[in-house]
A and B are shown apart, each in its own frame.
Chain A
């Protein structure tokens, strides 16, 4: 059984005027089908308003499809009786860490989720310790979240989700507000959770460099999935991506420019390391 299975999902936002009459309808997700297996690390790219976040909110029943069905661990997300199973299976982390942290002490904040699930106190503390350790924030457990950096706060937010022991975490632009160091910390932490602990990751981002660790990338435009594949397959389509408001990682852009000038650099370069290696190799054979 797949962890998440979305079949022909359609969702519309309805705009109403002051009197409640329908003014317009915006189809945010348009017949999307997507299957996620346990242990996947998938990334969703798309311009602002392409439907990424709306789709992601279907994965833990924050939104229900207008048409089509979403199954999480086999449960239909419309099935109220399994709402808590679903929410516990798929946790969400949002853009702004300040909006997600409620505790005045880091460890209390992380304990909030399992406490609400009615878990016994000893187990709660075991989970808190484990969650904080897996995002490398254990040494800050007694601190006030206010005193942490953006990246550290966001890692606490991730630990808060981990403490509910989800099988999958959806991160909706988790690095949008962070400085370079914070961004590195989050991407490293998420990659580690996926590789070491087998947690399924769904990463939504506008930074092309951040999706390189994903095993599959979905590109959305106007509510539809218009491309899917490995990062290397996706980023070969620089022109198509540009047309829909996206781009390719800087190293790929660099390689493309060099190729345009008749310099022999192979297709499919994604990282600075690969780019430098190929430039050196190409220089040697001249």
Chain B
């Protein structure tokens, strides 16, 4: 499923003293199956932007095309769109509300108007996908551990079988194993369902490892758009925007500053290890 943002602009509290332009003339397109990361400092407009992408917010000007259709046209079925473009919000576990986990996960597909059998089948599949143990299905969501609650909440979105999955800081507050688990889930979704993934994250390391493309948002505008290696080569600019570069890039840049000839375009851990190990190979011969 392709998404095109066409000159999107959004302003909060328009016409008041608190007026704030959150998204300012933003255009980009995301291809079917892409894995895109959205980065930017807090308040840069990322969260507003993703809410525009599935029609939760209506832009002041500009529009969004999903599969070539203008989602803000009068007759467009926004309700159905929200099943196709799913958003996992920050701390999604705060939105769990049903008496048991299974009913909670059924909420999304049920609202899409699916019959009971299909709803329950999807809920079951989604819960299996997030690897919640069967005995948790009929527990109160509030009795789950923090990590399990997050999984249950993500299952609630997956049960709608979104073709595009947008995640806003999905690993915030998770321990290292939990963070790794989320990224494994995203890989699985891409492989098994060809899901397009749009990831909002503050972790440059995670993005470098997983995303194919990075959009950098600053003060409501897209200021960079490219592959991780390209975007992370703008070390100084990213730091000035309150962002950072991956740890492995820092290692490579510092080696270069020490007069060692390394490829600083590398952003993933594995490649960086291979690059440094290669230096030793060369030095030995």
Check B146 against A48 for contact (C-beta < 8 Å). Answer: yes
Residues of A252-286 at the interface with B, using a CB-CB cut-off of 8 Å, are: 253-254, 257-258, 261, 263, 272-273, 275-276, 279-280, 282-283, 286
Knowing A48-B178, A180-B204, A208-B176 are in contact, say whether A276-B254 is a contact too (CB < 8 A).
Answer: yes
Chain A interface size, as a band, is: 35 or more
- B133 at interface by CB-CB < 8 Å: no
Partner-contacting stretch, out of A83-91, A126-134, A171-179, A224-232: A171-179
Q: In this complex, which of B269, B276, B284 has the most chain A Cβ atoms within 10 angstroms of its Cβ? A: B276
Interchain CA distance A227-B85 in the complex, whole Å: 44
Interchain CA distance A275-B178 in the complex, whole Å: 27
Main secondary structure of the interface of B (DSSP, over half): helix
Check A49 against B255 for contact (C-beta < 8 Å). Answer: no
Instruction: Give the distance to chain B from A9, nearest Cβ to Cβ, in Å.
Output: 20
Instruction: Give the distance to chain B from A135, nearest Cβ to Cβ, in Å.
Output: 17
Interchain CA distance A279-B257 in the complex, whole Å: 13
Interchain CA distance A46-B276 in the complex, whole Å: 31
Check B277 against A179 for contact (C-beta < 8 Å). Answer: no
- B243 at interface by CB-CB < 8 Å: yes
Encoded as 1 (CB less than 8 Å from any A CB) or 0, chain B from 234 to 262 comes to: 00000100111001101100110010100
- A251 at interface by CB-CB < 8 Å: yes
The residues of B that contact A179 with a CB separation of less than 8 Å are: 40-42, 202, 242-243
- A15 at interface by CB-CB < 8 Å: yes
Task: State the A residues within 8 Å of B (CB).
Answer: 15, 23-24, 46-49, 95, 149-151, 173, 176-183, 206, 208, 245-247, 250-251, 253-254, 257-258, 261, 263, 272-273, 275-276, 279-280, 282-283, 286
29 pairs from A and B in contact (CB 8 Å cutoff) = A24-B143, A48-B173, A48-B174, A48-B178, A49-B145, A150-B42, A151-B242, A178-B202, A179-B42, A179-B202, A180-B204, A180-B242, A181-B41, A181-B244, A183-B202, A245-B175, A245-B176, A245-B177, A246-B176, A247-B176, A250-B205, A251-B247, A272-B251, A276-B251, A276-B255, A276-B258, A279-B279, A280-B255, A286-B283
